[in-house]
């Protein structure tokens, strides 16, 4: 264009900026933008929407501020497209407060939000765990008659599920039932099953499940997983089997997450109940079921054979399900008093990268990080760590002043609390770890106290320091 003497106009600049932005070429975008501005080009709303989206994808908060400042300096009032792009950008940049302020500015300027605006803001509030703001926004939507669609309803329900807001979710669900255009769909029912399942409301979950079936709404694998997990915790194994069989017969094929759920139920079941759940697991994943039977039997299988079979299972399992599988398998071993097998599985899980960051060391502190472990796996990791430290004490090697174990503390209302189970195990062992008053889920012990405890547990093998 330049060679032929043609000068780019507003459309040309916006189009080329859009191409560069979609390719992620931030430097080229800014170079062209500044070149255009220097030549007298005045960007329009479309160009700024492109910039906002690009900075949003990168989570670049400084870039987002730059867009707002540029628009203000040029006296350009953002339109709906620009506001939506900026809101999505602020969400990705993790700035819920600024997103709220921008939304208020948008409404005050006379720009009415659309479904995309409201969905973006609800997602931002949900991610930030701003339940009150999200629910207040919902009330404003109802009062002002702002548009609502399936995606927005389901986003609200998912937020309620994440935050454990049962009553609020029930009201939303009833609103959907009374709506002419947004009747609950498969994802709506799944969110409610998740809420009831996480809260242990088994009867409500079962009523919803059969209501869903009668309404002709297709059950998906996520909803099936939520319900089976709930039934497993309540030890309603016959109902669990019925739900599993109904789901499979109606087109739901168990994925790794559902198999992990069944594996979890097996870990705390005994006798006939465990056999019933294992039968479901065998139908879903024969290899995994066979491996569980090996672990549940005698310990005659040698370590090398165990290692090869475990490796084969992991290679055919989705990456995100590998650690949960290993956690459940360790739990199964511990609950059946096969502690040596539990320690072998923890070793293999660590070997295959399932527990990165399990141990961290500084000059002043050694820490055991068990946030991603199950209760049984965390107990096993603590025992393994104590055994290693006992050997270090015996060899009279230097130790840091502080030892800590971090279980984390779940934000979810329905979190089961690894910390409390870990605290009970520490108490059972009479280990000198105490939970920090300032930080839930962090257990600490001094070098002096820990060494004395280790020596008292193995006086014949640990010499006095």
Q: What is the per-residue pLDDT across 58-114, written as a single tens digit (0 to 9) for each?
A: 777 788 888 888 888 888 888 888 888 888 888 888 889 989 998 998 999 899 999
Other Cβ atoms within 10 Å of 207 Cβ, number = 12
> Do the beta carbons of residue 193 and residue 226 sit within 8 Å?
yes
- How is the beta sheet containing 434-435 ordered, strand by strand? 359-361, 365-369, 402-406, 442-446, 434-435
φ/ψ of 442, rounded to 5, equals -115, 120
- pLDDT value at position 154? 87
* CA–CA dist 332, 335 (Å, integer): 5
Residue 272: the pLDDT is 93
> Quick one: pLDDT at residue 413?
41
Question: How far apart are the C-alpha atoms of 197 and 223, rounded to whole Å?
Answer: 9
325: closest CA among 299, 296, 354, 347? 354
Domain with CATH 3.30.1370.110 in the chain: 359-457
Overall CATH class of domain 1-111: mainly alpha
Output the pLDDT for position 74: 86
State how far the alpha carbon of 342 is from the alpha carbons of 1, 170, 312, in Å. 70, 42, 18
* pLDDT for residue 410: 55
Question: For position 416, what pLDDT does the model report?
Answer: 47
Share of the chain above pLDDT 90, in %: 48
Nearest to 328 by CA among 303, 349, 311, 307: 349
Q: Do the Cβ atoms of 327 and 376 come closer than 8 Å?
A: yes
CATH 1.25.40.10 residue window(s) in the chain: 1-111
Tell me the backbone φ, ψ of residue 412, rounded to 5 degrees. Answer: -70, 140
List the pLDDT tens digit at each of the 465 positions of the chain. Answer: 778 877 777 778 778 888 888 888 888 888 888 888 888 888 888 888 888 888 877 777 788 888 888 888 888 888 888 888 888 888 888 889 989 998 998 999 899 999 999 999 988 988 888 888 988 888 898 888 888 888 888 888 888 888 888 998 999 899 888 887 888 889 899 999 999 988 889 999 999 999 998 888 888 999 999 999 999 999 999 999 999 999 999 999 999 999 999 999 999 898 899 999 999 999 999 999 999 998 877 656 789 999 999 999 999 999 999 999 999 999 999 999 999 999 999 999 999 999 999 999 999 999 999 999 999 999 999 999 999 999 999 999 999 999 999 998 654 443 447 888 888 999 988 999 999 887 888 999 999 999 999 998 854 433 333
Domain 359-457 part of CATH 3.30.1370.110 = yes
| Tokens describing residue 165 | 């807001």
Q: Summarize pLDDT for 178-235 with one digit per residue, the tens.
A: 887 888 889 899 999 999 988 889 999 999 999 998 888 888 999 999 999 999 999 9
> In this predicted structure, what is the pLDDT of residue 88?
86
Torsion of CA 417, 422, 424, 430, to 10 degrees: -160
Six token digits for residue 27? 């430097």
Query: What is the rounded CA–CA span in Å between residue 382 and residue 370?
Result: 9
């Amino acid at each position: 264009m330049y060679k032929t003497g043609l000068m780019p106009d507003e459309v040309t600049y916006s189009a080329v900026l859009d191409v560069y932005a979609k390719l992620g070429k931030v430097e080229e975008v800014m170079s062209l933008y500044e070149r255009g501005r220097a030549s007298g080009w005045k960007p329009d709303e479309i160009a700024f929407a492109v910039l906002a989206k690009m900075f949003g994808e990168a989570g670049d908060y400084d870039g987002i501020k730059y867009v707002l400042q540029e628009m203000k300096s040029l006296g350009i009032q953002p339109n709906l497209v620009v506001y939506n792009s900026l809101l999505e950008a602020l969400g990705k940049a993790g700035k819920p407060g600024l997103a709220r302020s921008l939304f208020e500015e948008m409404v005050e300027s006379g720009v009415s939000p659309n479904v995309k605006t409201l969905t973006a803001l609800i997602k931002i509030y949900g991610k930030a765990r701003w339940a009150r703001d999200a629910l207040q926004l919902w009330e404003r939507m109802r009062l002002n008659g702002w548009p609502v669609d399936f995606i927005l309803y389901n986003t609200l329900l998912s937020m309620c599920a994440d935050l454990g807001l049962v009553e609020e979710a029930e009201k939303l669900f009833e609103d959907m039932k009374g709506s002419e255009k947004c009747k609950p769909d498969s994802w709506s029912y799944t969110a409610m099953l998740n809420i009831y399942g996480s809260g242990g409301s088994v009867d409500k979950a079962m009523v919803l499940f059969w209501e869903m079936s009668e309404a002709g709404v297709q059950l998906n694998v996520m909803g099936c997983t939520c319900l089976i997990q709930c039934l497993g915790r309540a030890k309603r194994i016959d109902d669990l089997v019925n739900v599993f069989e109904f789901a499979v017969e109606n087109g739901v094929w168990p994925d790794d997450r559902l198999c992990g759920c069944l594996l979890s139920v097996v870990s705390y079941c005994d006798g006939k109940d465990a056999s019933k759940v294992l039968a479901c697991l065998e139908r879903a994943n024969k290899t995994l079921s066979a491996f569980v039977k090996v672990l549940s039997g005698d310990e005659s299988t040698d370590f090398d054979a165990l290692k090869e079979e475990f490796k084969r299972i992991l290679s055919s399992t989705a990456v995100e399900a590998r650690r949960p599988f290993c956690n459940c398998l360790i739990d199964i071993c511990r609950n059946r008093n096969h502690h040596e097998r539990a320690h072998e599985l923890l070793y293999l899980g660590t070997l295959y990268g399932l527990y990165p960051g399990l141990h961290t060391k500084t000059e002043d502190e050694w820490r055991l990080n068990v946030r991603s472990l199950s209760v049984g796996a965390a107990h096993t990791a603590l025992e393994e760590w104590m055994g290693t430290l006992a050997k270090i004490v015996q060899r009279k090697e230097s130790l840091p002043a502080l030892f800590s174990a971090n279980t984390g503390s779940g934000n979810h209302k329905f979190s089961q609390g690894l910390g409390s189970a870990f605290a009970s195990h520490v108490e059972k062992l009479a280990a000198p770890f105490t939970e920090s008053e300032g930080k839930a889920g962090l257990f600490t012990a001094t070098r002096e106290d820990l060494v004395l405890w280790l020596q008292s547990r193995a006086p014949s093998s640990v010499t006095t320091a």
